[in-house]
Structure formats: C-alpha cells, structure tokens
Structure 1
C-alpha cells in the first residue's frame, strides 16, 4: 500500500511537470519586424503609400489633399522646391512614394520621385523643406564575351547573357562598315564591355564598349574607341591599323528631313524674286529641329547677316569647310571644337527664308560645291605619330579579344 501511494504521487508529479513544460513551450514567439530601408529612409518609421504618376498629374495636384508642415500650402511648397526639383520633368508612368506620420496619416513627412532605376529625388518636410537629387550607388563590372550569330544579333546576345540593348550600340559602331540587316549565321563577334549594377546584383544597363570584333562574311572588323584630341567630347572608333570606321561626313545635317531646294547655278529666289545661283542644299524641317555638324572640326565663325540669318561655319581641315544657315538658335561659339553629329544649332527661318529649314553649304579648296555629287572621303587618316600611339594603346584590348576568340572558337 505504501508503495502504491508513492507510485501515484510520482505519477502526479511527472504529469504536473509535463503540463508546466507544455505550457512553457506554447508561448507565442516574439516577431521582430524586418527593417526596410531604401532611398536613405527607414520605411518602418512611416506610413508609406506607393503610387504612379498619371497623365495630367502635377506636383501640386498630387499633394493637394495632404497636410503639409508649418501651415504651408501647396503653392508655397512648389515655390520652395522648384529651383532644385525639375517640376516639368515629372512624367506619367513614373513611380513615387509618400511618407506620412504614423500618428497622423494625413501629415506628409517626405516625398520621393523615382526618375529611373538609378536617379531619384527626396523632398523632406520634417524640418523646413530640403530637396536632394540622389543616385543609387552603381558598380561597374567589366566582361568580355564571344559568340556566333544564331538568328539575329539580339537573340544571340540574350543567349550569351548580355542585354539586347548592346545590339544598337554595336550597329552604331559599325554603321559605315557592316549592314546589320545582312548579318548571317556563322558570323562571329567578340566584345569587351562595362555594365552597370545597383548593389552589385541589379542590372541597369551598358556603361560603355571598350573594344569589339566582328567577323562578317569572312572579313574581320575590329573597333576601338579613341580620342585624338584632349578636348574631343566623344571618342571615335578606329580599326586595328588606326583607320577610322566612320565616313568623314554625314549625309545630311538633320536626322529627318526633306530636300526643298538643291544646289543650282540658277534658281529663282522666293524672297528676292530674281534668278540667281543657289550654292547650297536646303533641308526643310520643323522649327527647333537639331542641326548637326556633318564632320568634326573647329567652329570658324558664328553670327548673323541679313541674308544668312543666324549661321555657323565649321572648318574641318585645309580642304573642307561647311556652313549652316537660317538657324533659330546657335549652340556653339567661335573657336570651339565640335565632333561629327554634335548639335550646333536649331532649325529656324532667320534671314532670307520663307519657312523653317537649314541651308547647308559645302566648301572644297575654298570653292562652294554640291556635296551630293561628291565622292566624299572617309575620315581623315591619323598622322604617323598618332597612329603609333594608338596601336600601342589598343594592344592589351586587342589581345583580350583575340584570347577569348581563340578559346571560344577552338576549331
């Protein structure tokens, strides 16, 4: 009997311990809210609303229903931020965020406009008004790839793990050498490029091309960017021997145009009402259309005359010069070095003109000629001193391309 009582007591003790243990293990775990931080703001400290700018939205319209600090109204806020934040640059479809006081969900604390994957603007309203135009930290990574064309260039690039956005960049490099509408299966290419990443992982595009190679119909085409002059805005592309890939002159000073009057020894002038020589080619285009210099060179003269209106004349070398007339606005100055394709002015109708156009004039050895009838040269060759420097400069880049070509196409 004594043993039975002891056994029952022990059983009750064990049962109680198990119950206490069970009750202890069923307590609700403590949940720690993850810290969310972006744009330099800790989201957890606010009530956050994400939205997208709609057609017709303005900065004021987006904020008009919210409480602003210090009894400020939307107009006053707009006046405070307009010098730092491009209000007219706000575009429909772009995302933005509103950060509100948690205790007063109508009281706006911060506003973030996301311009693109990298650029954004933060307007902080907590202590006065501050505007910061910021960029997310970007890492630049270099890589070299090689591949054989399968289908289109874009498809081949995607299979190689490269953005299809590289295709138009390569087409631009080889615009005067390869017809990219005629590339074919078994054509090969290699390219060394730099790509941009946010936080080392989010791909945001191509930064630049360092060097490239294309084999088209059995012929090799190398291309390396190089600046012959220190003040040259953009590099030009040359092959492995230092020969320029571009033609010396663009076909026209406008991207989109209609030839309204050609070079002629005798043309009836629509303003002066008499027959006279027309020593230029008129390209009609909308008022404000960008006018591009057709070749690199130095601005020899800018100004205004009653006949020419606003004009720019560019000296390209000892043989060639070009002039651009009737501009609505001149965008370069005397003595400035300009590169092929650089915008030097805008289409207008100043001077003797009946409508918006640019009169393009072309000199060869001091005589005005018709460029549409000329066999125009490729870009000027490098002098021997520049060529030697260039060949030495591209050696490591060419070796890098040749090395990956050898590994990729062993057979």
Structure 2
C-alpha cells in the first residue's frame, strides 16, 4: 500500500515538472520595433573595408538584389557611407531558406535606419525611445574633479559640462582640496536603461576657495532657443577669454621675468604659461579672432598667433601639428592645433603667450572682459526664472570630505 502511494506521488511530481516546463514562456526580446524572437538574428559591427554589399552577400543575398536595394534606398540610406565601428543587425526569416528580410544600421545610440531587403524594399530612419531623468548631485574635491565625479559613480560628461560652464570663471588647474560642487541636470536614457548623455544643465554651484560660483541656464533667444549661463546677480559667466587653451593638463611653468631655460641652460625671462599635456591633445583659441601667423621657427616650433582685437593677441607654441591657416577666422574654443614638442621644448606642452597693446603680459593678472550681458529690462525676468531653482539647488546638501 505504501509502495503504491509512493509510486503515485512520483507520477504526480513528474507531471507537475512537465507542466512547469511546458508553461515557462520564452523571454520576448523587442528591439528597433521588431520582436527578435520571430527572426534568425545576425548581429555585427562594421569593420574597416566592409561594404553594404559585402555584408549582405555574406548572408546569401545575390548581387543583382543588392544592386536593386542600393538604388532604391540611396536617398534615405546611402550604402556607400556605412562607417567602420557602427553596429548592424540582419533579420532573417525562420524558414528553410533563412531569407534576409531587414538590415538595421545603428547610426548612433539613438538614431537607426531600417532597410527592407526582402520582397518589399524600403528604408526608414527611426529613433529609439528616449526618456529624460532629472538628477540632483553634489561632490567634493579630494584631488581632482575627475576623481570626484568618478567617486560619485557619475559619467565623465558631468566633469566636461562643469568645466564648460565654469571655464571662464574657475581655473581648474588650481582646484583645492575641499572644493565642493552641486548640480541639477537631466540625463537621457534609451529604453529607460541605457545612458545616452546629458540633455541639459539647469543650475550649478561650485564652491572654490570658500566662494560659491553660481550658474543658471537662461534662454537668451526665444527664436533660436539659444541659452547661456549667468550667476545669482545676472552676470554672464562667459568671458571674452577662456582660462586656458586646453583641458585637463597641468601648468608646468608660469609667466616669469626669470627662469632657468631647460634647453638653453641659462636664466632668461619666460613670457608665457606652459601647459603640459599628452602629444596630440587639442589646443583651442581662447577667444574669437583672426589668425595672423601659422608657421614654424626653430625656437617656437609649430605655432599659431591670433589677433582678437586692437588690444588683445595670443600665441600658441610647440604644436605637433597646426590646424588653421594664416588669415583664417576662429571662434572661441575652435581647435587651432595639437600639443607637441617642436622647437625648443623638452617635452609635450603648449606655451601660451598673451599680449595687451603689443606688450607680453601674464594673462592670470589681467582683468579680462566678460560677454553676453543681460539687458536691464531682462534681469527682472531672469530673477523670477531662477528663484525656485536656486532654492532647490541650495537645499541640496554639500558632500563633505
């Protein structure tokens, strides 16, 4: 009797297991508007030398069909312009022939193109669903801004945005241990999970040397949507000049009337500021202007000189490569060359020189002009716009050491 019950239990257990196994659904994978479970999926990355035709040929599409596809879709999707490093996906029918039906080309994280390569040939540009999430963060400097950002588990884009916002008012080569920052910004996410960059920065405050530097984004042109950053007193953060001609390096030698030259081995004036950085680091013009020299000398190496107006001129020495020609107009932030060690240089750096009315001076001792001032009648609107935002920013606790 007991044996019979035991056998019956075994039969029941087996039946339950089989039922569970049959009920367990296959996870549904959706991407680019397709249910991938319905296809045989080939995923890949375009390699150097790959062509659209080659990729389709590898999946059994004959050359006549490839030519037909290329001609019909070229106005929307140019097959000749697929780029090495871009991801793609080929969806094939689940039939005995495994006929290719769609080619999905990922232009970037958000934009993609679906090319119908089956019986119906077509090409449609699409975007993956993007959501925006607002964040409020704070950080403290222990050694550098990049380390402070990494310790918070934040994207390096936060560091770049802060440096962009404060590049005219804070010298990031002189950050101090204990400096603090807070920021309100929005991040973009693809399918609510994949980080796709920073949408915008609403407000920030950077406490440097116990002085808070506020920054609020404010639209200055309702037609173009152009905006700029202003402080708590409605003063523009943007200056006529950037603080430095490149990002994230170190000052290896400052402007001085007496320095021992490392190559010439003698004491002489050094009328520039040296920024040490890796070879190939982009060098930017610190203000709008016109290139009045793009040349080479045995002392300066490859150099560029920019005249900004009748008062100010800057020069950038020892470049590995120049990126502008004599007479070219440049905007603040334009790349004019790359760090090198040409001329009288012991290592890769840029020597940044600054003239005021034809006299070389130390740029760090100049009271340089600002730009983009708000009109008097616009300030009232500005103060009203930032009132609640500033309270929200101030309510975020500073992160301590």
Q: TM-score range by the shorter chain?
A: 0.5 to 0.7
CA deviations over 1:179-224 (Å, ceiling 9, x no partner): 1122121101111010112233332221111011011112221111
2:226 aligned with 1:234: yes
Partner residue in 1 for 2:238 = 246
**Are the aligned partners of 1:214 and 1:221 in contact in 2 as well (CA < 8 Å)?**
yes
2:207 aligned with 1:215: yes
**What TM-score do you get using the length of structure 2 for normalisation?**
0.66
CA deviation after TM superposition for structure 1 residue 286, in Å: 5.1
State the alpha-carbon separation in 2 of the partners of residues 22 and 83 from structure 1: 66
Q: Which of 9, 22, 42 is the equivalent residue of 2:10?
A: 22
Q: Which entry has the higher C-alpha Rg, 1 or 2? A: 1
Query: Structure 2, unaligned stretches of length 5 or more?
Result: 242-285, 296-302, 308-312, 317-321, 336-356
Distance 1:214 1:281, change over 3 A: closer
Distance 1:25 1:220, change over 3 A: closer
How many residues are aligned here? Answer: 308
Determine helix, strand or coil for the equivalent of 2:185.
Answer: strand
Partner residue in 2 for 1:392 = 384
Query: Structure 1, unaligned stretches of length 5 or more?
Result: 1-10, 264-279, 295-340, 344-368
2:192 aligned with 1:200: yes
Q: Which of 139, 145, 149 is the equivalent residue of 1:153?
A: 145
Partner residue in 2 for 1:190 = 182
Q: Which of 132, 145, 161 is the equivalent residue of 2:124?
A: 132
Partner residue in 2 for 1:59 = 52
State the alpha-carbon separation in 1 of the partners of residues 328 and 35 from structure 2: 45
C-alpha RMSD of the superposition: 3.7
State the alpha-carbon separation in 1 of the partners of residues 123 and 359 from structure 2: 52
CA deviation after TM superposition for structure 1 residue 76, in Å: 1.6
Distance 1:136 1:290, change over 3 A: farther
CA deviations over 1:266-318 (Å, ceiling 9, x no partner): xxxxxxxxxxxxxx99998457x995455xxxxxxxxxxxxxxxxxxxxxxxx
**Are the aligned partners of 1:187 and 1:215 in contact in 2 as well (CA < 8 Å)?**
yes
Determine helix, strand or coil for the equivalent of 1:97.
Answer: strand
Partner residue in 1 for 2:282 = none
State the alpha-carbon separation in 2 of the partners of residues 221 and 141 from structure 1: 25
**What TM-score do you get using the length of structure 1 for normalisation?**
0.64
